[in-house]
Structure 1
Amino acid sequence: MASKSVPRKVILGCVWTAMSVPASDMWKETRVAAGTEPLCRQQQAWPTSAASREKRKASAQDVLAAPLWQEHQPAAAADEKWSASCEDPAAQPLWQEQGQGQVPAEYLQLQRRRGRRGRLPGRLLAVADALLASLVIAPLVVTTWVGVWTLEETHQLPAVPCFLAALAVHLTLALIQDYLPRRLPARSDDFRTASRGYTLLLAVMCITQWRSGWATAKPLDLRATLLLSAVCLVALLCVRSTKGLLTPPFFVFLDRHGEFFAISTRFRTSRSQHGVLWVLDCAFSVLVVGNLIVFTWRGVWTLLDLYLYPDDQLWSAIASLVLGYGVVLVAFALQLPLSLAVGRLQGASRLLAADLYHLVSFFGTVNVWRGVWNVLEIFLLEEYPELGCWVCATLPLFLLMLLGCGNSVLVRGVFIDGEEPGGRCIIFPCKYLRAYLQDRKQKKREKRRQQLAEQMVNSANHATSLPTFVNPPETTL
């Protein structure tokens, strides 16, 4: 039987069609059958049309909106995605978002792996953060307060005008807290300059407010002073703000752009939604809650001056240091087990347990501050009064700015007792090394996502540059 010859044009058309398809589509059917083909390619018909290639290109460029290709990445990218889901305890686990009935094996394997590898380093970092906050950051903060406080007393600044001026500046900065981040982009020279001036100004105003407030209450006798402190403490319990009594070593505030100018209010109102109520909320938080904290501190400090070695300043300072750091050590040691116990409570019992823990920690904080303060007065300010004040006022604040935690000097904002869910309401914001390492991991993750996105864009551009036949010619052999 004579064989029919195939036309040369038909053969050339078939070869051109095969060459026009990207190399990744040559083995597409195998990947779809194995379940590894991305969803955006499973839904496309072969050969790929120009419209579908443009759609895939747009999906690859918008990594945050449509990361369909990330769901079927190799094992390293999948492990990274499960890790990101596990690192954020507030986020819903990925396997629950997908509506699966049981926990995937990858999730359980990652949890076991992280439990074996990350438990000991995480605890060591928590201990290192506590030691750094107690032995480095807290003494630097107290030294800054001693220097500015003593300078103002040396120059005999009037109490009432300074008190009103400090409140006015503090309230003004609270009202413009949303405006400053928009005008000062992150990692810019303007932000670096303005942030340092902001920290310096608000630090001086906070110390002036406290010194002037204590000076206005100085004429009161012991009974009136203790009564005022007790009333202020009861008022703080009523407005659920006893956590605001704490300072370093239990609090460490980092100099981050998103949180640098933030001054939290008591009722958490929004400027864009509430307007006048937001202004009243700022005024209440600065003028009322802030001064309640000031006079509560004064009462406890006065009691320690009266009953803790009142005739010997050195032994009084040593006793305060021993007592204060002892309470701080116990508070940090019991934080994790108490958080688990408080997490099982609900309602008023949970709030009461959190308040008791905050008050015990507050007692340790006052003793640490008083001990460091008296030691500086004995060994530095008595020998070199003028020079010692200027050194204490400038050098520690400069070191804190270099460490990236200059905001720890400030006393601002309102903390609400029991605001965090479960037992996290008694977890102190004392993360320095852990926050630094977490930021590094986040930057690496974002860099890796950008590299994957660029690879997808390049592959999509390569697929777009090759011509294809929408309807390839039929061949009859």
Structure 2
Amino acid sequence: MMSTSPRNARHGAGKAVCHTISDFLVIVLIITPAVNLFWRGTWNIMYEYLVPEDIIISSWLSLAIGSPVLLLAGLLQHSIRRLGSWIHGKSKGWHHLYLAVYVYVVASASVAQWRGFWNLPTYYLPEWVSIPGYGVTAVIGTGLMVGLRIFANGGGCPAGIIVDFEPDPFRVPLRFHTDRAERFSWRFALDVFFSVFVFDLISFAYWAGYWGLLDVLMFPEDLCFSYWVSLGIGYAIHLVTIFLQFPVHKASRNLRGAKREFWKRLALEDAFLFVVNFGVVNSWRGLWDLYDCYFLPDQPKLSAWLSVGIGALLCYSVCAGRTLGGIGVTVDGEEEDGTGVLLSTYAEGHEMLPWLKHLRKREEDDSGNLEALRTFDTEGSRKANDRTSASDLAGNQGTAAYLIKSSANTEYLI
């Protein structure tokens, strides 16, 4: 096998760069603002209509509405998946409608649960609204997420998006993988509770801590300017991590095998994900509060309804409705091929990540040339090389399948 010529390699790399940049623009200019609009609108609708005269009761009602819906989505996932398969066999159009309704209900319930999480500490623990309070919350949230190996779930768009092409969109991956048995048990029920409620509460602590610190430390005297700076920081971090993910992925993939290597890989992935997630928090803070500054600030009810409608319509129209909200847990360090650090792309529902595919092609060509030079080796060496090549091929095929994934906070069907 001959390696690709320098001219073809440059052409392939240039095409991949253009593809990645266009993908970046779709995510940061359409999908992320739309998802943020939907969450802000749903949040503010609850504020305007759900016992607006008593914010404490309103927050408890939000929690009482959102949490049971999410728990039922986890507990009944096998029945929901079977019904989805049956509808898909009858009519793809009805299946799309079924998915759209499911996504809307789950996303709205996620907003309701987070609204309860976010508001209640403010009123029951007023000392929490301070630099020490936010700092302690951020440290506790970060420590628990790292210790429980759920740090990958602390992000969201623009780093993690979910397109509507996954063959099993109703699956709710759980922390301890009891969902794979496809049968109800008390262990499964506890896994759902921890994955949907407890781990979401930990994610809230992470977000609320860093969001609060940004509120009190980043230009508090000029809030709208602070939000613009936060948005710029978030998008800049996302752009940098798009290019940084490839060397990190390669380093992570090389750290596989021994248990000691696992902990090194986990530390590397968590360090990278910390940067990614910090960018996501900045992006969301900037967008959310800029909408408050500029999007019909004198007409809050109209602003809320338009936010929900425009946000949902934009996401559904670009087949990214599942990015509006979802449940499930991704476990840090489980992917030995390093794909745990790869960011989502809008086009990944159709093909492998362009840059990674180009780099893999070059690696395969180089491996082919090296194998040709070894043809005069002994029979034993050839068998060893065959085993190594087969192992690498299996890893590449597994990686390609894994990349057709939906996140910044779910597992994916392989």
Q: What interval of TM-score do these two structures reach, taking the shorter chain for normalisation?
A: 0.7 to 0.9
Q: TM-score, normalised by structure 1?
A: 0.65
Bigger drift between 236-245 and 225-234 goes to 225-234
1:201 to 105, 113, 124: 105
The alpha-carbon deviation at position 437 of structure 1 amounts to: 5.2
Amino acid at match of 1:336: F
Amino acid at match of 2:197: L
Identity over aligned residues, as a percent? Answer: 25
After superposition, where does 1:120-139 map in structure 2 within 5 Å? 120-139=14-33
Bigger drift between 361-370 and 129-138 goes to 129-138
Asked whether 1:234 is paired with 2:143, we answer yes
1:366 to 261, 281, 287: 281
CA–CA distance in structure 2, aligned partners of residues 358 and 259 of structure 1: 26
Amino acid at match of 2:28: S
Q: Which residue of 2 aligns with 1:431?
A: 345
Cα distance change of structure 1 residues 116 and 274 upon mapping to structure 2, 3 Å threshold:
farther
Q: Which residue of 2 aligns with 1:40?
A: none
CA–CA distance in structure 2, aligned partners of residues 391 and 122 of structure 1: 36
Asked whether 1:217 is paired with 2:126, we answer no
Superposed CA deviations along residues 58-104 of structure 1, whole A, max 9, x for unmatched, are: xxxxxxxxxxxxxxxxxxxxxxxxxxxxxxxxxxxxxxxxxxxxxxx
After superposition, where does 1:252-263 map in structure 2 within 5 Å? 252-256=161-165, 258-263=167-172
Cα distance change of structure 1 residues 191 and 350 upon mapping to structure 2, 3 Å threshold:
same
Structure 1 counterpart SS, 2:122? coil
CA–CA distance in structure 2, aligned partners of residues 416 and 374 of structure 1: 31
Q: Which residue of 1 aligns with 2:37?
A: 143
CA–CA distance in structure 1, aligned partners of residues 250 and 35 of structure 2: 31
CA–CA distance in structure 1, aligned partners of residues 169 and 6 of structure 2: 37
Structure 2 counterpart SS, 1:178? helix
Q: Which residue of 2 aligns with 1:341?
A: 251
The alpha-carbon deviation at position 163 of structure 1 amounts to: 0.6
Q: Which residue of 1 aligns with 2:325?
A: 410
Structure 2 counterpart SS, 1:412? coil
The alpha-carbon deviation at position 248 of structure 1 amounts to: 0.4
Q: Residues 162 and 209 of structure 1 are in contact (CA less than 8 Å); yes or no, is this contact kept in structure 2?
A: yes
Q: Which residue of 2 aligns with 1:18?
A: none
Q: Residues 37 and 310 of structure 2 are in contact (CA less than 8 Å); yes or no, is this contact kept in structure 1?
A: no
Asked whether 1:299 is paired with 2:193, we answer no
Structure 1 counterpart SS, 2:214? helix
Q: TM-score, normalised by structure 2?
A: 0.74
2:241 to 313, 322, 331: 331
Q: Residues 343 and 422 of structure 1 are in contact (CA less than 8 Å); yes or no, is this contact kept in structure 2?
A: yes
Q: Which residue of 1 aligns with 2:226?
A: 316
The alpha-carbon deviation at position 411 of structure 1 amounts to: 4.0
CA–CA distance in structure 2, aligned partners of residues 240 and 112 of structure 1: 42
The alpha-carbon deviation at position 126 of structure 1 amounts to: 2.7
CA–CA distance in structure 1, aligned partners of residues 322 and 283 of structure 2: 19
Q: CA RMSD in A?
A: 2.5
Superposed CA deviations along residues 251-308 of structure 1, whole A, max 9, x for unmatched, are: 1101136232121111112234783322221111012111110121111111000001
Superposed CA deviations along residues 364-420 of structure 1, whole A, max 9, x for unmatched, are: 111111111111111113133221111001112012111111110104211111221
Which stretches in structure 2 are left out of the alignment for 5+ residues? 52-57, 256-260, 353-414
1:167 to 67, 89, 93: 67
Q: Residues 354 and 425 of structure 1 are in contact (CA less than 8 Å); yes or no, is this contact kept in structure 2?
A: yes
The alpha-carbon deviation at position 114 of structure 1 amounts to: 9.0
The alpha-carbon deviation at position 183 of structure 1 amounts to: 1.6
Cα distance change of structure 1 residues 309 and 267 upon mapping to structure 2, 3 Å threshold:
same
1:188 to 62, 72, 92: 92
The alpha-carbon deviation at position 234 of structure 1 amounts to: 1.1
CA–CA distance in structure 2, aligned partners of residues 257 and 424 of structure 1: 17
Amino acid at match of 1:436: H
Q: Residues 152 and 273 of structure 2 are in contact (CA less than 8 Å); yes or no, is this contact kept in structure 1?
A: yes
Cα distance change of structure 1 residues 253 and 302 upon mapping to structure 2, 3 Å threshold:
same
CA–CA distance in structure 2, aligned partners of residues 257 and 427 of structure 1: 17
Q: Residues 227 and 286 of structure 2 are in contact (CA less than 8 Å); yes or no, is this contact kept in structure 1?
A: yes
Pair member with larger Rg: 1
Cα distance change of structure 1 residues 233 and 411 upon mapping to structure 2, 3 Å threshold:
farther
Aligned residues: 332
CA–CA distance in structure 2, aligned partners of residues 239 and 111 of structure 1: 47
Which stretches in structure 1 are left out of the alignment for 5+ residues? 1-104, 439-477
